[in-house]
């Protein structure tokens, strides 16, 4: 686990889009795969929530969007829209779709709501069909950027993408957020999984779902 200050130190050494990606992992408690699979339709800025589709166990859940990230998230959404408009003008078959949806809804892959929130820079050739499709940011790129940021921060700890999800849970516990609320935010089916985080941190009574990025510094004791 990282302290709040250590989280900030690592993030300070990241550049876009990796900085925003790691901020979302920490601020929303996302798994790496959940982060990379985010699409435009997952974001509801009016209600301030993020819907995580088909998380572990193939269950959807909602988490609060960190208010401090809303302007940056809107900027990223604008970048995605601009890229989408460019893609529509080229020989492009759309984004990769989950399961058999490409066959079921043939036009969905080109709709804006289905675009990746963190798209890959280039298009991917599908050998069988010869189509050009867009994939999301590759996990290896984020992992490499994170490893370099961790090195630059000088923090003598093993830091991976999962470290930020772990820190999300631990920091909310330290801020006295109810453990069952944290269970829901993390998408754990069994409370015993969430209880792992209580070995070093006590939890008390706050039940309102929040992001640790929106909590005041004195909330962490």
Q: What is the pLDDT of residues 15-73, one digit of tens each?
A: 999 999 999 999 999 999 999 999 999 999 999 999 998 656 567 899 999 999 999 99
Q: Residue 20: which of 62, 50, 56 has the closest Cα?
A: 50
- What are the tokens at 15? 């550049």
Q: In terms of DSSP bridges, do strands 49-52 and 61-64 run parallel, antiparallel, or are they unpaired?
A: antiparallel
pLDDT value at residue 74 = 98
82 is catalytic: no
Residue 56: active-site member: yes
Is 162 a catalytic site residue? yes
199 or 95: which leads in pLDDT: 95
**Has residue 189 got a pLDDT over 60?**
yes
Whole-number pLDDT of residue 180: 87
CB atoms near residue 24 (< 10 Å): 27
Q: Looking at 19, 31, 79, 110, which residue is catalytic? A: 31
Secondary structure of residue 52 in the 3-state scheme = strand
pLDDT greater at residue 213 or residue 10: 10
User: Which domains are assigned to the chain?
Assistant: 4-156 (1.10.443)
Is 136 catalytic? The answer is no
Q: Which of 56, 81, 138, 180 is catalytic?
A: 56
Q: Taking residues 123-149, report their average pLDDT.
A: 94
171 catalytic residue (yes or no): no
Asked if residues 42 and 117 have their Cβ atoms less than 8 Å apart, the reply is yes
Query: Which of these is catalytic: 4, 39, 133, 165?
Result: 165
Q: What are phi and psi of 170, to 5 degrees?
A: -65, -40
List CB contacts of 201: < 8 A, sequence separation 6 or more. 170, 173, 174
Chain centroid offset of residue 140 CA = 15
The mean predicted confidence, pLDDT, of the chain is: 88
Q: What is the pLDDT of residue 173?
A: 86
* Cβ atoms 131, 95 nearer than 8 A: no
Residue 13 backbone zone (phi > 0: left; psi -120 to 50: alpha; other: beta): alpha
- Annotated catalytic residue within 152, 162, 180, 204: 162
pLDDT > 70 in the chain, percent: 86
pLDDT of residue 9: 97
Q: Indicate if 31 belongs to the active site.
A: yes
pTM equals 0.85
Q: Between 139 and 203, whose confidence is greater?
A: 139
User: Which position among 4, 84, 174, 188 bears the catalytic label?
Assistant: 188
Helix (H) or strand (E) holding 144: helix 139-153
The distance of Cα 18 from the centroid of its chain, to the nearest Å, equals: 11
User: What is the token pair recorded at 38?
Assistant: 């985010």
* Pairing of the two strands 61-64 and 131-136: unpaired
Task: Dump pLDDT digits (tens) for 60-105.
Answer: 899 999 999 999 999 999 999 999 999 999 889 999 998 766 666 6
Contact 123, 134 (CB under 8 A): yes
**How many angstroms separate the CA atoms of 176 and 97, rounded?**
39
């Amino acid at each position: 686990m990282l302290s709040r200050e250590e989280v900030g130190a690592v993030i300070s050494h990241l550049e876009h889009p990796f900085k925003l990606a790691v901020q979302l992992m920490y601020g929303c408690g996302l798994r790496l795969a959940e982060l990379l699979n985010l699409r435009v339709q997952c974001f509801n800025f009016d209600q301030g929530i993020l819907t995580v589709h088909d998380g572990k166990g193939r269950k959807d859940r909602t988490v609060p969007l960190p208010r401090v990230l809303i302007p940056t998230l809107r900027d990223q959404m604008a970048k995605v829209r601009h890229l989408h408009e460019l893609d529509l003008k080229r020989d492009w078959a759309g984004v990769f779709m989950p399961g058999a949806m490409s066959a079921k809804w043939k036009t969905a892959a080109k709709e804006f709501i289905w675009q990746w929130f963190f798209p890959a820079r280039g298009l991917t050739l599908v050998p069988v069909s010869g189509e050009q499709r867009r994939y999301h940011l590759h996990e290896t790129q984020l992992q490499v950027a994170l490893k370099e940021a961790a090195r630059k921060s000088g923090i003598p700890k093993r830091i991976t993408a999962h470290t930020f999800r772990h820190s999300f849970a631990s920091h909310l516990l330290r801020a006295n957020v109810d453990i069952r609320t944290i269970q829901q935010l993390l998408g754990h089916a069994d409370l015993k999984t969430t209880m792992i985080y209580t070995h070093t941190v006590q939890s008390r009574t706050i039940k309102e779902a929040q992001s640790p990025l929106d909590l005041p510094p004195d909330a962490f004791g």
